[in-house]
Chains A and B, each alone.
Chain A
Amino acid sequence: DIHMTQSPLSLSASVGDRVTITCRASQSLSSHLNWYQQKVGKVPTLLIYGASSLSSGVPSRFSGRGSGTEFTLTISSLQVEDFATYYCQQTYSTSWTFGQGTKVEIK
């Protein structure tokens, strides 16, 4: 299986901060990389697909970049509703995998 490593695993930030989460893959994914948000007690929702395409209805403060083995998710100005856990996911095979998740908490 392709192994996905997210960093950091947790972070504390304030409303208005710029936040960046990194996801590294054990092999090249081209652009087969997605980002999901999961709030406590809720089902995950898609944020970014294809490394950089914003899913429908997702605010433009979210953006994704990268290709190959290194990817980033950036929240340009953190809002209260963005406090959640974020997961990257690779779909470059018939055995998909998620990163460990990054928990974004209020400072």
Chain B
Amino acid sequence: EVQLVESGGGLVQSGRSLRLSCAASGFTFDNHAMHWVRQAPGKGLEWVSGISWNSDIIGYADSVKGRFTISRDNAKNSLYLQMNSLRVEDTALYYCAKDDGGISIFGFGYYLDYWGQGTLVTVSS
């Protein structure tokens, strides 16, 4: 059974940093690109960042580019999101998501097939 368990969320002041982690199990982690998706309270889904199976291909949403860094450790079956210079508008539930494992011409897969339950990040002013 695929399991994705996020951790590291919490309350932080604007301008500070936070590191999220996602522990993966139930599938061959290094066969799949992984992604972070967030959802602000009462709002829609926003893709944040993705990383290919070997970390060669990385992408970010414009809203977090230059502030957030995605990384993975295939030996530990873990995905990370380092979030610096946090803003109030970064407040959201952050989901770790697995992609289908295909490799499109862009280096990621084609869709997200499993999601974790999310970890809540609250940024105060």
Interface check A81, CB cutoff 8 A: no
Which bucket holds chain A's interface residue count? Answer: 20 to 34
Q: Would you mind naming 27 contact pairs between A and B with Cβ atoms under 8 Å apart?
A: A1-B62, A34-B110, A34-B112, A36-B112, A43-B115, A43-B117, A43-B118, A44-B45, A44-B115, A87-B45, A89-B47, A89-B111, A89-B112, A91-B104, A91-B106, A91-B109, A91-B111, A92-B106, A94-B108, A95-B62, A96-B50, A96-B59, A96-B108, A97-B47, A98-B44, A98-B45, A101-B45
Binding site secondary structure of chain A: loop
Docked complex Cα distance between A96 and B100 (Å): 14
Q: Which residue of A has the minimal Cβ distance to B113?
A: A46
A-side interface residues toward B, CB under 8 Å?
1, 32, 34, 36, 38, 43-44, 46, 49-50, 55, 85, 87, 89, 91-101
Chain A residues, CB < 8 A from B107: 94
Q: Which residue of A has the minimal Cβ distance to B59?
A: A94
